[in-house]
Structure 1
Amino acid sequence: MAVLGVLLACESSGLQEVAKEFQVTTKIPIGGNSYLTAGKGLKVTRNGVQDWTSEEAVLSTYFKMERPQQVFLQLVLDGKSSCTFEVTAAGQRKGVTVSAEGSDTVSVGTFDLGQGYVNVDIKGKAKEGAHFPSVESLLVNVKEEAPIVFVKDNESNRYYWGRRGPSVHLSYTLPGDKDFKWFYNEITVPEGEDPNGSYYMANGFGEGYFGIQANSDDERRVLFSVWSPFHTDNPDEIPEDQQIKLLKKGDGVYTGEFGNEGSGGQSYWKYKWITGNTYRFLNSVEPDGKGNTIYTAYFYAPELGEWKLIASFLRPQTDTWYKRPHSFLENFIDSNGYIGRKAFYHDQWAMDVQGNWVELTEAKFTGDDIANRGYRMDYAGGEEAGRFFLRNGGFFDAFEALNSMHQRAPTHNSPEVDVNSLP
């Protein structure tokens, strides 16, 4: 043990001398920037890692370098116990020995990092006791100051939203001189772009949304929701005269309430849609002439070859036609925020109240708070090969400027659907 103590002291002294060359420090909190990416046996919480018991678990922390630099990495631990870690970044690997005594900040060493997103992987190799010490943050020390992109704070629960990844949207330009009742859209999710937690929202409107989800390995859904005019995250608080009323629903469709992001009426149909296939979405927004508005959604799966009614809701105290047609792409499982997803959105059409189809070929690309703050920059959207697309997650480097306008070539092929004979 005495020999080990001398070796540790020499190693620590050598790293301290190297550290003096790196005067600019960025503290990257584990709670908003890290994931369990392999194995099991640890939990990422807003305060860092908890219950790290397994040598199989890999903790990956992501950040983006604005330019190539040599960095000096350190780990800030919460609680001390003797163990060894293996730290890997950009193909370079270093061992770290932690003693039960001494500073909570443990030096790892220098790494040469390139421009763009980097992941620092930490794996426990050996430990005394049942748990590895918790890692609270990663310190990235550089010689010259340069911006680093990461989730910086937990205000408004941003660690959670940051770990989910940036949500991105397409808002379609609708002619302003007409009233529109129907909106039609198609989605194709490429093979391999469907991790669990993905919501590919096709037909958004001013008061709700309609699309498909990848919920788990065994479940997928077609989801259609309408918000109540009463603003709350708790459905139980909505007065009866402002509650969403179900008018009809398709066979096998679940209907109920939802909360936590506004509240209202929700419907979903469990259906195992398939990557590579193109799915069609059609929904209507129509005033009932009594101060309410009726919202109805239909879904077409090529495997079934027919339109299916999802649901029809009445929203009280609302008098509107279809407003703000849009699509979005989001991840709703924060532990999967390091995995990317992409979808193509194509053949957008709107039907006016006279029954005329109008093709929508212009869209504005936008992002959520995490994207707008620059906390995550792994997002893209716009036009590709004649179709609109959205992409997020996975910590890729190419990205599209937010609030940019995009055009796709018109197809001139209006939807082959008779809206008067729908189920």
Structure 2
Amino acid sequence: MAHPAARSVHLWFDLPKNAKCVCNEVCVSESQTGSYFCVIGFSRGYSGIQELYDGRKMAIFSVWDSSSNSDPSEDQRVQVAYSGKGVEVSRFGNEGTGGKTMVPLEWKLNEPVQFKMEAQDVDGTWTAYSCYVKMNSSDWFHMATMKTIANGELLNGVYSFVEDFRRDGASHCEIRSAKFGDCYSKADDCQCKCQKATFTADSSTPTLNIDAGLCGDKFYLTTGGDTKNTSTQLNCCIAKPPETN
């Protein structure tokens, strides 16, 4: 049975709750137009890199409104506290509502892109989430800081995913693949490196041309085309071997 899109695949990282900072890296090995590689997703938003329909490449950072209402009042909406040079600020809908920031980023295949997400409890009601990105030896670029009503919540439920958003009936025949890691979190003076991740996929697309596993010390996700599900079954944990001194 044909499907309009390649199946979305995810890695849910085993990290401590309520982290103040999370860092992760993506290295895309195969991409197509209409691809999104989420590097740091969390309970209140997500950040990553895209290849748009016309081939332009971008970094994106979005934060959800606290309300499930499709048109929340102004005082319930995400507030953009800062946006970097060249960053486009807008709002999004459909899958919840919130604030979205995008900036051109000429990422390349097989070259790592690093993301850092920081969270600060502003007043017990609003939390500020700040996204930073860098490539190669460049400095961290502060893409944006957005505030949402989170009642003291910081960074929880950290994950990465690969998504085909072209959904044109042919894009499921094309492979999208990326490696992620090292992923780690910081809370006060404690740093925790992720050693395990759980592999999942969206339930609305039942195709099995998906895979996940380890490539050296990195986690990887692959979806679409002639991909074979040979490494990890859905909902299974992928564990790195114990580190030795």
Aligned to 2:238: 406
Name the structure with the higher helix share. 1
In 1, Cα distance between equivalents of 2:119 and 2:161: 19
Which of these residues, 287, 293, 297, is aligned with residue 131 of structure 2?
297
Distance change (3 Å), C-alpha of 1:342 and 1:410: farther
Moved over 6 A (4+): none
Question: Take 1:263 and 1:209, find their aligned partners in 2: how far apart are those partners?
Answer: 13
- Partner residue of 1:348? 183
1:338 aligns with 2:179: no
Q: So what's the TM-score if we normalise by structure 1?
A: 0.55
1:287 aligns with 2:121: yes
Contact conserved, 1:286 with 1:322, CA < 8 A, in 2? no
- 1:184 is matched with 23
What is the identity, as a one-letter code, of the residue corresponding to 2:75? D
User: What are the within-5 Å matches in structure 2 for residues 81-100 of structure 1?
Assistant: none
1:345-382: CA deviation from partner (whole Å, max 9, x where unpaired): 01111001x132211111011111135xxx31111112
- Mapped pair 1:318 → 2:157: no
CA 1:293–1:217: 2 relative to 1, 3 Å: same
Structure 2 residue aligned with 1:170: 11
Pairing 1:355-366 to 2, within 5 Å after superposition = 355-366=189-200
User: Structure 2: how far apart are the matches of 1:312 and 1:187?
Assistant: 21
| 2:35 alignment partner in structure 1 | 198
Whichever of the two has the greater Rg, that structure is 1
Contact residue 58 and residue 106 of structure 2 kept, 8 A: yes
Opposite residue 235 of structure 2, the aligned amino acid is N
Q: Distance in 2 between matches of 1:321 and 1:276?
A: 31
Take 2:55 and 2:92, find their aligned partners in 1: how far apart are those partners?
A: 22
1:222 CA drift (Å): 0.2
Aligned-partner residue type, residue 408 of structure 1: K
Matches within 5 A, 1:9-48: 33=2
Please, which runs of 5 or more residues in structure 1 have no aligned partner? 1-27, 34-161, 413-423
User: In structure 1, what is the Cα distance between the partners aligned to 2:46 and 2:31?
Assistant: 19
Q: Counterpart amino acid of 1:271?
A: L
CA contact (8 A) 1:285 1:295 kept: yes
Counterpart CA distance in 2 for 1:405 and 1:194 is: 25
The superposition leaves residues 161-204 of structure 1 with CA deviations (integer Å, 9 ceiling, x where unpaired) of x411211110111235xx410000011112xx110111110101
Cα offset for 1:317?
5.0
User: 1:145 maps to which residue?
Assistant: none
Percent identity between the aligned chains? 27
Aligned-partner Cα distance in 2 for 1:255–1:165:
28
| Offset, 1:410 | 6.6
1:220 partner letter? K
CA deviations over 1:270-294 (Å, ceiling 9, x no partner): 1221111111100012211241111
Aligned length: 241
> Shift in Å at residue 217 of structure 1?
4.2
SS in 2 for 1:396: coil
Q: Which runs of 5+ in 2 are unaligned?
A: none
Whether contact under 8 Å (1:186, 1:280) holds in the other structure is: yes
CA RMSD after TM alignment:
1.8
The aligned runs of 1:377-416 (5 Å cut-off) are 377-399=208-230, 400-409=232-241
Q: Residues 218, 169 of structure 1: CA spacing in aligned structure 2 closer, same or farther, 3 A cutoff?
A: closer
Is 1:245 equivalent to 2:79 in the alignment? yes
Letter in 2 for 1:174: L
CA distance in 1 between partners of 2:124 and 2:16 (Å): 26
Deviation at 1:320, TM superposition (A): 0.5
Counterpart CA distance in 1 for 2:81 and 2:176 is 34
Question: C-alpha separation between the residues in 2 aligned to 1:240 and 1:305?
Answer: 37
Describe the SS at the equivalent of 1:322. Answer: coil
Q: 1:370 touches 1:376 (CA, 8 Å); kept in 2?
A: no
